[in-house]
């Protein structure tokens, strides 16, 4: 029987457990955190799923600046697809409004999707103020049609952020 356990921390702690029609097995340990901060090591025994959520941005011109609100609650950033959309440039937020904690060493990852299907339609990732874009050797910041880029960002200091853009292409 599949066991689904979800712990939701939002002010008060809510624990939702679904195990068919039964209850938690005797002796099973279930815990919760009273804060979003974990001041020690976190030991996950089992699978771990990070976040979720898709933010769909609707560009009205060939350039769009992503906002803190569009990025903070989503792990995937996509755009309203159009077969007539010109190449798109998506600029990351400035480091002062970037969705990362202010502590040096904080990092987070996103997937950026280029859903466009027109042959010449690419999505280019551009740096906001205080952002340093990096790519693996031999790559660039341009995402081809129907491709994805993995964006991993690291806060170096309170105002400097380095983001690695790594485009993937279909393998099948």
Per-residue model confidence as pLDDT tens digits over 119-141: 778 899 999 999 999 999 889 99
**In the beta sheet, which residues pair with residue 150?**
111, 166
Q: For residue range 63-112, what is the model confidence (pLDDT) as tens digits?
A: 999 999 999 989 999 998 776 777 899 999 999 999 988 889 999 999 99
Question: CA distances (Å), 71 to each of 62, 112, 144, 167, in order?
Answer: 19, 10, 21, 18
Q: What is the mean pLDDT of residues 144-170?
A: 92
pLDDT of residue 102: 85
Closest CA to 100 of 109, 90, 89: 109
pLDDT of residue 29: 64
- Stated pTM of the model: 0.73
CB atoms within 10 A of CB 132: 14
- pLDDT beyond 90 at 38: no
pLDDT of residue 5: 43
Among the residue ranges 15-19, 87-91, 112-116, the one predicted with the least confidence is 15-19
DSSP state of 159: T
Contact 163, 92 (CB under 8 A): yes
CA distance 66 to 125: 10
Q: What is the mean pLDDT of residues 49-63?
A: 87
pLDDT of residue 2: 40
| Residue 96 Cα to chain centre, angstroms | 18
- Between β-strands 88-91 and 54-57, what pairing exists: parallel, antiparallel or unpaired? unpaired
For 71, the enclosing helix (H) or strand (E) is helix 68-72
């Amino acid at each position: 029987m599949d066991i689904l356990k979800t712990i939701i921390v939002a002010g008060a702690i809510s624990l939702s457990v679904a195990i068919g029609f039964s209850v938690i097995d005797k002796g099973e340990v279930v815990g919760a955190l009273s804060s979003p901060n974990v001041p020690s090591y976190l030991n996950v025994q089992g699978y771990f799923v990070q976040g979720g959520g898709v933010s769909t941005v609707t560009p009205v011109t060939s350039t769009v600046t992503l906002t803190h609100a569009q990025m903070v609650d989503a792990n995937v950033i996509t755009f309203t697809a159009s077969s007539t959309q010109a190449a798109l440039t998506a600029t990351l937020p400035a480091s002062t409004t970037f969705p990362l904690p202010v502590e040096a060493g904080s990092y987070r990852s996103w997937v950026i999707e280029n859903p466009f299907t027109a042959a010449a339609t690419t999505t280019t990732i551009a740096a906001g103020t205080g952002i340093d874009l990096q790519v693996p050797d031999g790559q660039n910041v341009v995402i081809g049609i129907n491709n994805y880029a993995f964006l991993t960002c690291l806060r170096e200091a309170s105002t400097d952020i380095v983001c690695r853009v790594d485009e993937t292409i279909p393998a099948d």
